[in-house]
Amino acid sequence: MLGADLHTEVVRHFAAKPGAPDTARVTHQVRECLRYLYLISRHPERLGGLFLPVEQEIDEIWHYLILQTREYRELCEQRLPGGHFIHHRSISYDAYQADPGREKAAEEALRWIPLYTESFGPFDADALPHWTVVRFLHEELGLPLTEIAALGTSRDHAL
């Protein structure tokens, strides 16, 4: 989606940082960033304005892409399904959670799961570390990835 040159540049940039994970993990981070942007582009009415449900590393990749202004605009307007520029606004989770309230914030965080699984299939071990709520459900609550993937289908997208 980025094109080979920009994809290689992004992976190299983040793999070269001190304490960076290996190149394979950075490649997965870039993939999950692009999946996040794909979902926002495809479902702006359902996801627009919601808190970023991915880890900080994914947000940093998004910031890097935004700085590549020409390529980022082309990605948003020509390669992603919505065909519109995706704006970014930074806000802490605590500040976000205070506005809609804890229950609403949780509902909005779960809203991503069925849309992700419809587009990309169930979360796998490579995607899991990058999606905060999915990782919490799996690691802290012990839900298998198959049950997490079924959350959207069992509720008819009411999440």
pLDDT in tens, the chain (159 residues): 999 999 999 999 999 999 999 999 999 999 999 999 999 999 999 888 777 788 999 999 999 999 999 999 999 999 999 999 999 876 655 655 556 677 777 788 788 999 999 999 999 999 999 998 899 999 999 999 999 988 866 444 443
- What pLDDT does 151 receive? 81
- What pLDDT does 68 receive? 97
- What pLDDT does 99 receive? 64
Report d(CA 65, CA 73) in Å as an integer.
Answer: 9
Q: How far is CA 32 from CA 57, 68, 100, 136, 148, in A?
A: 10, 18, 26, 17, 17
- What pLDDT does 48 receive? 81
Per-residue DSSP letter, 54: B
Place of tokens 């998004």: 62
Considering only CA atoms, which of 94, 142, 137 is closest in space to residue 113?
137
The string over 94-116, giving b where at least 16 C-beta atoms fall within 10 Å of a residue's C-beta and e elsewhere, is eebbeeeeeeebeebbbbbbbbb
Beta strand segments in the chain, E? none
